Amino acid sequence: MKRVLLLGGVTEALALARRLGPQHLYSLAGVGRVPTDLTCQVRVGGFGGAQGLEHFIREQAIDLVLDATHPYAAQISQNAAIAAQSASIECWALRRPAWQAGPNDDWREVSDWAELITALAPFQHPLFTLGREPLQHLDEIPDHQFWTLRALDAYPGNDRCEIIGARGPFLLDDERALFARRKIDVLISKNSGSTATEPKLEVARELGVPVLVLKRPVLAKVDREFLQVGELIEALSLAGFL
Ligand code: NAP
């Protein structure tokens, strides 16, 4: 029986995991919720780099690695491609298309934290939706800025920063209310391409608020790439995995 190792961490990966039978494995890093209602096996935690993953693939007699991780999770994607190649099996990936700026959007791409801070200087009330990274910089908030930071879990803030713990999907009206309450004048976002987190971009567009977009990392080359989960399910079925 052919066996898939599905690397997850995003909504589409869970949708895919729900289609997998009991011989298959769904792997999570352990930062988000772990589903308890799946037919396939679920494992949580790192493998110990590309080498550890290769060892795991051989030990568990995996036939195919499916990388359905977040577009900014570049390390595990690279490890998956290297480990699959070393173990002489294929690696397929679900690569979510990026959001595209429309004519009424003011998006400014930044490559890293240093560029982001420079681009942020003219603003007073940024909303960070990058995950936990800004937490390391709470002592560096310039005098003229008051930050709002949204991450998966709540953390203590300070008098210059409110930290909101929240998980998508986010509703348009709630995003509008957040922008109004915190007087947001700039949004900082990854380009995740997820519909669950897209409403914040619509609010920025409505209000004419600029968006600083953290550039997507370049991901490792794999044997096959899919943009939609449906296409991937079809290919798995054709190849006899489902
Ligand atoms: P990363 O930098 O690419 O990976 C860091 C390490 O976490 C990997 O080297 C690996 O540890 C472990 N890891 C990551 N995904 C794993 C998986 N599915 N199963 C087992 N181990 C995994 O990833 P990240 O950006 O920290 O993201 C961690 C997880 O959260 C990913 O699964 C990703 O899909 C999900 N996520 C990330 C973001 C984001 O913005 N980055 C957003 C939403 C969800 P070892 O080297 O020890 O194997």
33 — pLDDT class (breaks 50, 70, 90): confident
pLDDT at 95: 96
Q: What is the pLDDT of residue 183?
A: 98
pLDDT on residue 235:
97
pLDDT tens per residue, range 122-179: 999 999 999 999 999 999 999 999 999 999 899 999 999 999 999 999 999 999 999 9
Residue 50 CB less than 6 A away from ligand 1:
no
- Best residue among 31, 33, 69, 218 to mutate for probing ligand 1's pocket (most ligand atoms within 8 Å of CB) is 69
Q: Which domains does the chain have, with CATH numbers?
A: 4-97+217-238 (3.40.50.720), 107-214 (3.40.50.720)
Our answer on whether the CB atom of 49 is closer than 6 Å to any ligand 1 atom is yes
pLDDT for 32 equals 81
| Residue from 216, 214, 234, 215 nearest 224 by CA | 234
- Return the percentage of the chain with pLDDT > 90, whole number: 95
* 1 pocket-lining for ligand 1 (C-beta < 6 Å): no
